[in-house]
Structure 1
Amino acid sequence: MGAEKIDTVVVGGGQAGIAMSEHLGKRGIGHVVLERARIAERWRSERWDSLVANGPAWHDRFPGMEFKGIAPDAFAPKESVAEYFADYAKMIDAPIRTGVEVTRVTALVGRPGFLVETADGEIEAQHVVAATGAFQKPVIPNVVPPDAPVTQIHSSTYRNPDQLPQGAVLVVGPGSSGAQIAAELMRAGRKTYLSAGKHDRPPRRYRGRDFCWWLGVLGKWDMVAPAPGTEHVTIAVSGAHGGETIDFRRMAAEGLVLVGRTERYEDGTLHFGGGLAEAIRHGDANYLSVLDAADAYVLRNGLALPEDPEARQFPPDPDCVSAPLRSLDLAEAGITSIIWATGYARDYGWLQVDAFDAAGAPAHQRGVSTEAGVYFLGLAWQSRRGSSFIWGVWQDAKFIADAIETQRGYASHHADAQARAGA
C-alpha cells in the first residue's frame, strides 16, 4: 500500500495543534492532526495534581468557547483544561488521530512535499506544522550525581507531597512551577528549601484587575521581541488558591528557606551562588514596574479603580535573604528529595529538514520556517509575548494558516499555467 496523501500534517494534539486545525478547517484545507498520546496529554500526565491554569478562565481560552462550570475570574484545574481542549476539538470536528507517533519527517526528492513516517504508516504532505511547542524534553542539570543518596525528579514528574520520601525537600527554580510546588510542600508540613536566581514576579491582581488584564490594556502581550538579556528570565505567577501573588519574603516568613542558585555538589554538600538578595530585588522591580504602568494608565484614562497602597508594601528581608546559606549538607539538613523545576529543552529529532539554525533552534519568522512548507507553532515569543499562551497560540495559528493558504494559491497557479501550456 502506498503512502496516504494529504495537504497538511499537524504534529501535536495540544493547544497548538487544535488551534491549527480550526484555522485550516475554516479555509477548507485538508489536514490531519497526529498526537502520540491523548489530546492535551501534557496537561493530563506531566503536571502535578493540584495545578490550575495561571490565567483566569475569561482570558486563558480560545475565542470560540468558554470553560464549562468555571467562573470567568476563576482558574481552571488542569483536568478541566485538558477536557476543554478535547471538547473544543470535538466542536470543530478536528481530524485528530491519537496514539500515533511521528517518527521522522523528510523532504521528498525531486518534487515538493514531505514524507511523514509514523507508527501507523506513511503520509505524503505538502505542508507540515510542528505544533509540539518549543520545549518537549525535561532538563535536569548535571549537578548532583544520579547515585547521590537523594531522590531527584523533574517538576514534570512531581504529583503531590505524598509521592516523595519523608524528609525535607529542595526545589530548584523560582519560576511558576518551582514557586507553586515549593508552596504546596511547605503547606503540607515539609521543610522546604527553594533555590532561586533571577526572576520576574508580576502582581496577581492590582486595583481590582488581574495582571492578565493589565498586560493586555498596557500592550505588554503584544511586545514583538523580548528586551536584550531578558529572553530567558523566568516568571513566577500562580493561579493557586484563587490566584495569589508570588511573594518569596512572605513564603520565607511562613517557613520556606530561600537559597541562591544551585551551582555544584561535593561530598554530600550543595553549594549555592551569591546574588540571592539581588534576585529578589529584580523581582521587586518587575513587580513595581507593572504597578507604576497601571497607575499611569488609570490616571490617563480616568478609570474609577480603587487605590491599592498596600500592594507597594514589602515585608523586611528574611534572614535567609540577608544572610543566605552558601552551602548545605543534605544529610544534616534532612533533605531527601530534590525537585528540579528547571525547564525543558527542544527535541525536534524527528523533523529532519533544513529548518534549524546552527544551535538547533527553529529558524523562522512568525512560525514560517526557512524550509518551504514547514511551520512551527507554540514557540515562546513566536510572534509576540503572548505566543506561548492559550489565546496567543490561537492567533499565531491563524497567521500560519494564512501563509499555507497563500502557498496553496501559488501552487495552484503553477499547475494551471502548466495545464494551459500543455493544451
Structure 2
Amino acid sequence: MVGAGHAGLAASHFLSARSIDHVVLERGEVANSWRTERWDSLRLLTPNWLSRLPGHAYDGPDPDGYMTAGEVADFVEGFAKVAAAPVRTGTQVTSVAAGPGGYRVRTSGGEILCRAVVIASGACNRPAVPALAAALPPAIEQRTPFDYRGPEQLPDGGVLVVGASATGVQLAAELRRSGRPVTLAVGEHTRLPRTYRGRDVLWWMDAAGVWDQRHDEIDDLDRARRLPSPQLVGSAERATLDLNALTALGVQLVGRWAAVRDGRALFSGGLRNVFALADLKQERLLDTFDAWAVGAGIDGEVERPEPTRVPDKARLQLDLNGGEIRTVVWATGFRPEYGWLDVPVLDAKGRLRHDGGVVPGAPGLYALGLPVLRRRKSTFIHGIEDDAREVVEHLVTSLGG
C-alpha cells in the first residue's frame, strides 16, 4: 500500500479482515497531507456527521460542524489506531517496478517484493500550475495552496486568485476580508448552495443517492473525473460562498486567464455564458433533490438560489507591471504524482489508466482515492469504504482467494 491517508488505511482494514499480509508505506506521518499541505483556515467541505470510515465515525460534540485540517488528521490517525494498520511512516517510495511474481518496491527504508500494490497516494500531490506562470514579471509573487498558509504571508497590495472552485473562492474571500483588493479569474465551475430546504446540501447528495452513481453508469466519465470541486466552504454560519457572495465582499470577477502579453494578463470574455452554465447545472441538481423529496414524502419550503450576477463590465486585461497586482495565487487544481511508478500504465497526459481502480495490463496493481474511481463520492472520506471493499475483493480474488 502506498499512502497512509484515509484511502490506504481503508484498504488496509479490508486486507486485514481477509488475513492478507500487507504493509502501508507513508512518506511522512499518517494523514500527512492534512498536516503539511493545507492552509490554516481550511475546513472540510463535508459536515462532521458525514465523516466516517469502516467501523470509525465522528462522535464529537458538533455533528453539523466542519473539521479543521488538524481535526481531519486526528480523525484519520484515530482510524489507523483502531484498525491497527501496519504503517511504516517516514518511508519514501522511490520506485514501483515489475519484479519476481509481482512488483519490486524500492523505498528509503529498503526493498520490498510483493504480489500486489495499491496506489493510495492521493489525487492532490502537486498543484497544477499553467505554463503561463513562467511569463509573469519577476516582481509578482506567486503562490499555490501548498505554500499558502494565510494572508499575512503575502506582500501588501492586490491579489489575483486564479480558479473559482472550492479552493479559489475560499482563498479569495479570506484575502478580501484581510483588506486586500482581490481579483478572481473565473473559468468553468460548479455552484452549490451550502444549505437547501433546511438541510446541508451534502445531506441531499447523500440521501438522494447522487454520490452513489457508479463510474460505469456515467456517460462522460473522463469529464466527470475532471470536474472542479464545487464552490463550498465549511463554516459555523453554514454560509453559501459563491460568486454572488464574493461580489458582495468586493471581489472583482474576470474571465478565464487566457494569456500574458507585454506584461499584461489577458482574460477571456463570455462570463455571462460561464455563469449561465453553472446556474443551469445547479438547477438540474436541485430538481433531482426535489424529485427525490417528493418520492420520500419530505415537505419543506423550496427557495432556489439567486442566479449568478454578471458584472456590469468585466475587465479583459490587467497590467502586471503597474503595481495593481502584487501576488498571484494559483488555485487551478491539483495532480497526482507518479514519478516513482516505473510501470507503463500512464496515459499521454500522465494520468493513471484504470477501470474502477483496477489497472489494465498490470495484474496486481490497483488504485484508490482518485476522482470518481468507482462512484461519484470516491474522493470523499465517507466515500472510500465501498470503493476499498470492492477493490480489495478484486485483489484477493486475483491472488487466488
What TM bracket, shorter-length normalisation? over 0.9
The percentage of aligned residue pairs carrying the same residue is 39
2:163 alignment partner AA: G
Q: Which runs of 5+ in 2 are unaligned?
A: none
Structure 1 residues 23-422: aligned runs within 5 Å: 23-108=14-99, 111-144=100-133, 145=135, 147-225=137-215, 226-228=218-220, 229-234=223-228, 235-304=230-299, 306-309=300-303, 311-314=304-307, 317=309, 321-332=311-322, 334-370=324-360, 371-409=362-400
Structure 1 residue ranges, 4+ long, deviating more than 6 angstroms after superposition: none
2-side partners of 1:119 and 1:323: how far apart? 55
2-side partners of 1:205 and 1:188: how far apart? 26
In the TM superposition, residue 147 of structure 1 has moved relative to its aligned partner by 4.9
Deviations 1:244-277 (A, max 9, x none): 2232123212201000001111233111011212
Query: Per the alignment, do residues 365 and 246 of structure 1 end up closer, same or farther by CA in structure 2, a change over 3 Å counting?
Result: same
2:10 and 2:385 in contact (8 A); partners too: yes
In the TM superposition, residue 151 of structure 1 has moved relative to its aligned partner by 0.3
Query: Per the alignment, do residues 158 and 227 of structure 1 end up closer, same or farther by CA in structure 2, a change over 3 Å counting?
Result: farther
2-side partners of 1:376 and 1:83: how far apart? 24
Deviates more, 1:159-168 or 1:224-233: 224-233
2:264 and 2:318 in contact (8 A); partners too: yes
1-side partners of 2:288 and 2:256: how far apart? 30
Of structures 1 and 2, the larger Rg is shown by 1
Query: Per the alignment, do residues 291 and 359 of structure 1 end up closer, same or farther by CA in structure 2, a change over 3 Å counting?
Result: closer
1:201 and 1:246 in contact (8 A); partners too: no
2:369 alignment partner AA: G
Q: Which runs of 5+ in 1 are unaligned?
A: 1-9, 411-423
Deviates more, 1:42-51 or 1:277-286: 277-286
2:244 alignment partner AA: R
TM-score normalised to the size of structure 1? 0.88
2:162 and 2:184 in contact (8 A); partners too: yes
1-side partners of 2:349 and 2:322: how far apart? 41
2:43 and 2:234 in contact (8 A); partners too: yes
Aligned residues: 394
In the TM superposition, residue 314 of structure 1 has moved relative to its aligned partner by 4.1
Secondary structure in 1 aligned to 2:378?
Answer: helix
In the TM superposition, residue 312 of structure 1 has moved relative to its aligned partner by 3.5
1:101 alignment partner AA: Q
Deviates more, 1:338-347 or 1:174-183: 338-347
Secondary structure in 1 aligned to 2:52?
Answer: coil
2:184 and 2:254 in contact (8 A); partners too: yes
TM-score normalised to the size of structure 2? 0.93
1:172 and 1:342 in contact (8 A); partners too: yes
Deviations 1:24-72 (A, max 9, x none): 1111111110000111111111111000000001113214223353411
In the TM superposition, residue 355 of structure 1 has moved relative to its aligned partner by 2.8
Deviates more, 1:352-361 or 1:211-220: 352-361
Query: Per the alignment, do residues 204 and 348 of structure 1 end up closer, same or farther by CA in structure 2, a change over 3 Å counting?
Result: same
2:210 and 2:376 in contact (8 A); partners too: yes
